[in-house]
Structure 1
Amino acid sequence: MTRRRSRRLTVGPERFRWSVGHRHGGPSGVDCQEVLTVFREKPAGGHFRFAFPLDGAVVHQGGVWRPGAGGPGTGGYLNLNLPGTVRALLDEARASGHSLTVGAAAEVDGRQFFDAVLARLGDR
């Protein structure tokens, strides 16, 4: 998986690191995915991966759109490179019961949070 160096995200007293990558042949068997990985910085915790299977051309690394949409500008687009998007995904995952506890590791299909994240961000 290709990945950039991690960036910092602070949520209240918590500090996280996150990175965006692109992979082929992930655990779900989908050929092409954008992957956002978030992990707790201190105290050290687990990591959480949001995998977004791509159904078309990649506009740029980290660019994902609503399933069935024709691409950016056609009904819902997320840029995984933006801290606000990362924060919204983390908030939605935590609200649905996921955590980043020590030793925990999870991967989910990020599309399940898509509409809720768009609502948090103001559906742009």
Structure 2
Amino acid sequence: MRRKGVLRKLVVDDTVWLWGRRHRHPDCRETLSLRRADTPHAQLRLVFRSGEGRAVAGWPLGEGEIIGLGGHWLNLNEPGVVRRLLDEAVARGLVPTGNVVREVDGWPLFDAVAGEAP
């Protein structure tokens, strides 16, 4: 079993990424945080909040699972899912390069990748 709070590693080409997932309240959200290992102060946070047609972890979903329109769902604990979201974020130019934490709505990225095969 993975320890909470420990960052996980994802290697894409020659770049090492560190990532983690958290569930927070009071607005009930899942947050996926990503950063390059060599730039500890440049972080991207993809935030998924519950809303109309969208749900985050909690009954009947498991920890780290999010579900959107059309019944598509993703598990933010799976490295393959994180990789697909990261690729989409990079393609959209969302990953910060300087010493900044960028927090963005993750649902548009969910919509782009949820229908893809894993």
Which bin holds the TM-score, normalised by the shorter protein? 0.7 to 0.9
Q: Distance in 2 between matches of 1:117 and 1:85?
A: 9
State the partner residue of 1:116. 112
Describe the superposition over 1:7-61 as per-residue Cα deviations: whole angstroms up to 9, x where unpaired.
0000001001100101114xxxxx1001100111025451100111124561222
Contact 1:64–1:79, Cα closer than 8 Å, also in 2:
yes
1: CA distance, partners of 2:96 / 2:16:
11
Matched AA of 2:18: R
Aligned residue runs from structure 1 range 20-31, under 5 A? 20-25=21-26, 31=27
Q: Secondary structure at the match of 1:42?
A: coil
Residue 76 of structure 2 is matched in structure 1 by 80
Counterpart residue identity of residue 51, structure 1:
V
- Number of equivalenced pairs: 109
Pick from 59, 62, 82 the counterpart of residue 60 of structure 1.
Answer: 62
How much has 1:117 moved relative to structure 2?
A: 1.2
> Aligned partners of 2:32 and 2:97: how far apart in 1?
18
Letter matched to residue 110 of structure 1 = G
1:72 matched residue in structure 2: none
Cα separation, 1, equivalents of 2:82 and 2:40: 19
CA contact (8 A) 1:44 1:102 kept: no
Partner AA of 1:62 in structure 2: G
Give the Cα separation in 2 of the matches to 1:90 and 1:100: 12
Match of 1:34 among 8, 26, 30: 30
Task: Name 2:95's counterpart in structure 1.
Answer: 99
Structure 1 residue runs without a partner (length 5+):
26-30, 70-74
Aligned residue identity for 2:43:
H
Structure 1 stretches of at least 4 aligned residues deviating more than 6 Å after TM superposition? none
Unaligned 5+ segments in structure 2 are none
Query: Secondary structure of 1:116's match?
Result: helix
